[in-house]
Amino acid sequence: MTDQPRFLIIGAGAIGSFYGALLKRAGCEVSVVLRSDYEVVSQSGFHINSTLGDLSWQPDHVYRDGDTPVAAPDYILLCVKVLPGVDRAALVRPWMGKQTVLVLIENGLDIERELLDAYPDRPLVSCLAFIAVSRVGAGQVNHQAYGQLVMGSFPNGFDEHCQRVSALFKKAGIQVDASEAIVGERWRKCVWNAAFNPLSVLANGADTLTMLDAPGGESLIRALMEEVIVVARADGYELPDTIIEKNIPGTRAMGAYKNSMALDYLNQRPIELDAILGNVVSIANRLQVPVPRLETILAALKMRQPSAG
């Protein structure tokens, strides 16, 4: 690795371009692979209005599918949505050098497996982002709040690659929580996401308070969280008993809030149904843990989009 670590971001949407800006600020070489925003970003870079100040930046290289990279990246930062039909292993293949390390900043549970299967000898840095950020136009991003990462090696540990990447993000000024058990952290985030996100889509994009305050709403959300906790336990990740008791008032305290999946649905973008819910149900079925409520929500959503399988 050179003194100036070389990053390539695949999926430089709101999240990718935000964390790219931080890496740039930390002194890295940062390039991107783009589709729809290629022309705009090639010409004038990313414009990022952030609570951390103006984070606008120009990538060192802007690539398109089919281009050959000037040099193999030390790190590929993968920030694409986890959707059926999106082959993430194939997306990264043309850009992988012999030493390239994969860094995922993506949502969901059990989303690392397909990359580990494709690149079994490669270290995998798995990150969860706690952030409110949205793309408001081509190359235009609005960062509203937060930015903390939870990071660990997949499936466990916190290796030298985590240490290096973590140090860079910290240098740029954000909090990185090191985790020796990143899968457990994904389960923990899943307690909220699997309960609120797909249900908000069934509720046609309802906000959190509307969901909690509907007849039977809070009771259903608590029961969904409990189902996730029981599956996590069967999978070997014991979550604290207090997580539901913290999550509910914590959510109420945020006020009426439309979660990212509700917004994707309302804006007619695809939703990460399998990453957030389908994989939980698959693990539950494999471990023979009954999850009648999670299954009901998953099947109802699959009925809406039969083509998505």
Q: Which residues in this chain contact its own copies in the complex, by CB under 8 A?
A: 199, 202-204, 206, 210-211, 213-217, 219-220, 223, 281, 292-293, 295-300, 302-304, 306, 309
Q: What is the DSSP letter of 306?
A: G
Choose between 80 and 201: whose C-beta lies nearer to its own copies: 201
Task: Find all residues with CB under 8 Å of 36, minimum gap 6, and list them.
Answer: 138
Q: How far is the CB of 216 from its own copies (least distance, A)?
A: 4
Query: How far, in Å, CA of 252 to CA of 25, rounded?
Result: 35
Q: How far is the CB of 159 from its own copies (least distance, A)?
A: 37
Long-range contacts of 262-269 (CB under 8 A, 24+ apart): 262/197, 262/200, 262/201, 262/205, 262/206, 262/207, 263/134, 263/205, 265/200, 265/201, 265/204, 265/205, 266/205
SS3 225: helix
Choose between 70 and 299: whose C-beta lies nearer to its own copies: 299
Choose between 1 and 300: whose C-beta lies nearer to its own copies: 300
Q: What is the DSSP letter of 50?
A: E
Q: How far is the CB of 266 from its own copies (least distance, A)?
A: 13
Q: How far is the CB of 183 from its own copies (least distance, A)?
A: 24
Q: How far is the CB of 228 from its own copies (least distance, A)?
A: 14
Choose between 23 and 291: whose C-beta lies nearer to its own copies: 291
Choose between 66 and 215: whose C-beta lies nearer to its own copies: 215
The strand pair at 140-153 and 176-178 is best described as parallel
Choose between 250 and 290: whose C-beta lies nearer to its own copies: 290
Q: How far is the CB of 220 from its own copies (least distance, A)?
A: 4
Choose between 37 and 227: whose C-beta lies nearer to its own copies: 227
Q: How far is the CB of 190 from its own copies (least distance, A)?
A: 18
The strand pair at 140-153 and 124-137 is best described as antiparallel
Asked if 78 and 10 count as a contact pair (C-beta separation under 8 A), the reply is yes
What's the burial of 306, exposed, middle or buried (CB within 10 Å: 0-12/13-18/19+)? exposed
Choose between 174 and 220: whose C-beta lies nearer to its own copies: 220
Q: How far is the CB of 302 from its own copies (least distance, A)?
A: 4
Query: Does residue 155 have a cis bond before it (omega within 30 degrees)?
Result: yes
Q: By C-alpha distance, which of 61, 52, 37, 63 is closest to 140?
A: 37
Query: How far, in Å, CA of 298 to CA of 54, rounded?
Result: 40
Query: How far, in Å, CA of 207 to CA of 160, rounded?
Result: 41
